[in-house]
Amino acid sequence: MFKAGSISRRVFTSVAVLAAVTTQTGVAVAQEKPFTGQRLSVLMVGHPTTDAVRKALPDFTAATGIDVDLEVVPEADSVPKMMLEFSAGSGRYDVVEASSIHVQGFVGSKYIVPLDDIATKYGQFYDKTDFVPAYLKPNVVEGKLYGLPLFGESSFLMYRKDLFEQYGIAVPKTFDEIETAAKTVKEKSNGEIVGITMRGQQGIQGVYIWASYLWGMGGSFLTADGKSALDTPEATKALETFAHVLREYGPVGVANMGWEENRLLFQQGKAAMTLDATVNGAFNEDPAVSTVAGKIGYAPVPVQTTTPKGGSSSLAVFNLHVASDSQQQEAAWLFVSWATSKQQQIHSLETDPNSGVTSIAAMNSEAFNKRYGAFKEAMLASLANGNPQYIPTVPQANELVNNAGIAVSKVLAGTTTAADALKEANELNNAALSR
Amino acid sequence: MHITRNPTRNFYRPIIGFLAATSAALLLYAIWLCLHNISLMSTKGTQFIGLSNFVRLATDWRGVQALGRTALFVLLATSIEVVLGIAIAMFLDQDFRGKKIVRAVILVPMIMTPVIAGLTWRFLFNAQSGMINYWLSLVGIAPVDWLGNPSVALYAVLIADIWQWTPFVVLLAMATLETIPKDLVEAARMDGASEIRVIWHIILPMLRRTLGVAALIRAIDSVKAFDLFYIMTKGGPALSTETQNLYGYTVAFTNFDISYAMTIALFLTIVTNVALLVLTRFAMPKGIR
């Protein structure tokens, strides 16, 4: 009985599956490529992930019949470019890539569309559960999905294991310990090796790193009721500590150092520590560009206080959005969901140094572990602590960062005290928020 | 013939009319923008706010400082480039072997893309591994923080600008020098005039018009200077290299405050026009006015 039942069940299942497959094939023939011949215009940011997408475009066209015109510009130029087109209502771009800090502003100005309905209809590439939740979250505004994360990163502390061992330094867990470690390195190496290097350039570059100090010392950019919080003692202490360690134990020229200069200095083995984006790990561990591959230890961003208002490591996510003025929103959605699908993300690891995948499956893949195993654990820990509000996400975010950046730059250059510089930034930020 | 009867009027009048209409339309649109509060990131609608943007600019310390920096940069860049340009042109006006090669090489900075020039100088000035600090270290001078020290950075950009645009003055001056009759100079020398007197009383007066035009063009270009600043310092450190032009850019394309950015731009245009009018009226030789 048991056996017969089993057989009959098996037969039944097979028939059912066969029927299902037949129906689905029938549907698929009609619906497989409903957008054949459509041509999408896509604006993306220059990055290894974008390179991987570009290389795989023929796969997308083969699967959907949709052609893609891909325009790639540097990150700093991408937002002005899309904003001009959005505000003119030109419909020039169907899909745009932008950082999470812009999502609120875009939604508020109705530049991008909610995707839930299209996602239910055309879900062949889309698997909501495969995204790292922290990456997907910024794309959800008032319960609606406005984009999908293409790449993401956090920040962590990178240090020279060999030097730390030689000089008997423990891995810093607070910003005071960073300063002590930097001092030891500078003294014991007779000034040959820089204690710590960080980005100090005016604007987002300096603010992106200083924000670790701000959050880690119990400060924040905004108060709970949306006012500027830069005139607090915590913020002042954070800026004083940040500027002091760089002025005393940092490299010459730190006030004009951006991501690239900072990364190169560390890769060349001229500094014992740096605090920067997790993507730097991929550069550190590449022997072709780094003289310190294999010698680097990775640790979470320090925290000084026991009661931070938010995590001290960043959470930068770049997302793909469908423009409101697009005439081909369904096709645009297919591109967005394909470019962020786990298949494409796993494939991207084969073609490009893409350590910023947003797919859990890609992160657990063998290729990822082999290449980025050295810092995977620290990166995941930083991501778990990653602060989605690390850089403010209000519509005026850029202006707030700009004003804070001037304060950071002034104190770093030694022209103003931290309290005065932040008071000024605070007033400007409040004015911007009320405008 | 009276000018209105000139048949060519049918050709030039429509063109002048079209250009005038375009300028007027753009100017009116710019003024309209200044009187509203258009921000690409704002969720509030567009409102008429009268002269608020101008009031804001008048009390904006950052804008005032930026204007001062623009003035300083224009003054220094223009004067140094013109003086240096004449000196080099006079030097090249002599006959020597390889003159053609030197003339070709000296034009290279001018035809180089500003982005390349900016990046090259940024790396030359790099405090840690830049070429300039390396050379200085050879003669025992401690590394200078060229782009990271607020009291040095503006002059570092100035050096790059002088390097790039002095050849322009050289080019104009050389063209004029070649038109100066040689017999005039030789006659003066035969009469026993010293070289300095020849330069002061014969060559420089002949170069006057050219130099006036060169200075005018360089001054206008320096007001608009943007690329070198953007590539080399982005206005930092501590705002020490933020010119009015760069400030306008930041307001427009970082803060997306279009109306206020237009106010800054319009104000800069007015200031520049007035300054140039005054300059041409009092400082320029008659022929150029």
For A373-402, write each residue's pLDDT tens digit: 899 999 988 888 888 889 998 888 889 999
The pLDDT of residue A389 is: 87
Which of B40, B129, B148 lies closest to A255 in CB terms? B148
The Cα B134–Cα A283 span in angstroms is 26
User: Is residue A435 within 8 angstroms of chain B, CB to CB?
Assistant: yes
How far is C-alpha A32 from the chain's CA centre?
33
Chain B residues with CB within 8 Å of chain A CB: 37, 39-43, 126-129, 143, 145-150, 153, 233-240, 250, 252-257
Token couple for B198: 């020849």
The Cα A209–Cα A175 span in angstroms is 13
User: Is residue A252 within 8 angstroms of chain B, CB to CB?
Assistant: yes
Q: What's A133-187 look like in SS3?
A: HHHHHHHEECCEECCEEEEEEEEEEEEEHHHHHHHCCCCCCCHHHHHHHHHHHHH
Bigger pLDDT: B234 vs B41: B234
Shortest distance between the Cα of A419 and any Cα of chain B, in A, equals 15
- B44, B234, B249: best to mutate for the A interface, most A CBs within 10 A: B234
Locate the chain B residue with the closest alpha carbon to A86: B40
Reply yes or no on domain B61-283 having CATH 3.90.76.10: no
Which of B41, B127, B239 lies closest to A105 in CB terms? B41
The pLDDT of residue A30 is: 43
- Whether the CB-CB separation of A386 and A313 falls below 8 Å is answered with yes
Locate the chain B residue with the closest alpha carbon to A253: B148
Q: Any idea of the CA torsion for B18, B20, B24, B30, to the nearest 10 degrees?
A: 90
Q: Say whether A398 and B126 touch across the interface (CB within 8 A).
A: no
- Whether the CB-CB separation of B225 and B233 falls below 8 Å is answered with no
The pLDDT of residue A19 is: 46
Token couple for A265: 């200095």
| Burial class of residue B104 (count of CB atoms within 10 Å of its CB; 0-12, 13-18, 19+) | exposed
For residues B162-175, average pLDDT: 92
Model confidence at A260, pLDDT cuts 50, 70, 90, reads: confident
The pLDDT of residue A5 is: 43
The pLDDT of residue A403 is: 94
Residue A234 has pLDDT above 60, yes or no: yes
The pLDDT of residue A326 is: 94
Residue-wise pLDDT for A291-304, tens only, equals: 999 999 999 999 99
What's the count of helices (H) and strands (E) in chain B, helices before strands? 14, 0
**Residue in the structure block whose two tokens are 């995590």:** A311
For residues B193-207, average pLDDT: 86
CA-nearest of A435, A364, A350 to A399 is A435
Token couple for A427: 């007033």
For residues A74-91, average pLDDT: 86
Q: Coil, strand or helix: which one is B198?
A: helix
Over chain A, what is the mean pLDDT?
89
For residues A196-210, average pLDDT: 94
Per cent of chain A over pLDDT 90 is 69
- Whether the CB-CB separation of B47 and B36 falls below 8 Å is answered with yes
For residues A98-105, average pLDDT: 88
How far is C-alpha A175 from the chain's CA centre?
23
Which of A251, A253, A402 lies closest to B147 in CB terms? A253
Over chain B, what is the mean pLDDT?
88
∠ Cα A396 A397 A398 (to 5°): 95
Complex ipTM more than 0.90, yes or no:
no
CA-nearest of A108, A74, A163, A146 to A395 is A108
Report in angstroms the alpha-carbon separations of A303 from A172, A179, A247: 10, 13, 21
- Whether the CB-CB separation of B284 and B209 falls below 8 Å is answered with no
The pLDDT of residue A427 is: 95
Phi, psi of A45 (to 5 degrees): -95, 140
Model confidence at A11, pLDDT cuts 50, 70, 90, reads: very low
State how beta strands A148-160 and A296-299 pair.
Answer: antiparallel
**Least confident stretch, A19-23, A201-205, B254-258:** A19-23
Structural domain spans, chain B? 61-283
Residue A256 has pLDDT above 60, yes or no: yes
The Cα A321–Cα A146 span in angstroms is 7
CA-nearest of B128, A199, B141, B228 to B245 is B228
Token couple for A264: 């190169």
The Cα B179–Cα B265 span in angstroms is 40
- Whether the CB-CB separation of B203 and B282 falls below 8 Å is answered with no
Token couple for A159: 């240090």
How far is C-alpha B168 from the chain's CA centre?
11
Number of residues assigned to chain B: 289
The pLDDT of residue B283 is: 65
Q: Say whether A253 and B240 touch across the interface (CB within 8 A).
A: no
For residues B226-233, average pLDDT: 93
Model confidence at B285, pLDDT cuts 50, 70, 90, reads: low
CA-nearest of A420, A394, A417, A411 to A206 is A411
Strand partners, A323: A112
Residue B182 has pLDDT above 60, yes or no: yes
Q: Say whether B239 and A202 touch across the interface (CB within 8 A).
A: yes
Report in angstroms the alpha-carbon separations of B139 from A192, B52, B136: 20, 56, 5
Strand partners, A298: A158
**Least confident stretch, A302-311, B108-117, B275-284:** B275-284
Token couple for B41: 């990131």
The Cα B184–Cα B198 span in angstroms is 10
Model confidence at A31, pLDDT cuts 50, 70, 90, reads: low
CA-nearest of B274, B224, B283 to B249 is B224
Residue A29 has pLDDT above 50, yes or no: no
Q: Say whether B127 and A253 touch across the interface (CB within 8 A).
A: yes
Q: Coil, strand or helix: which one is A53?
A: helix
CA atoms within 13 A on the CB side of A407: 32
Q: In 3-state terms, chain A is what percent helix, strand and coil (to 5)?
A: 55, 15, 30
Q: Coil, strand or helix: which one is A312?
A: coil
The Cα A71–Cα B38 span in angstroms is 28
The Cα A36–Cα A34 span in angstroms is 6
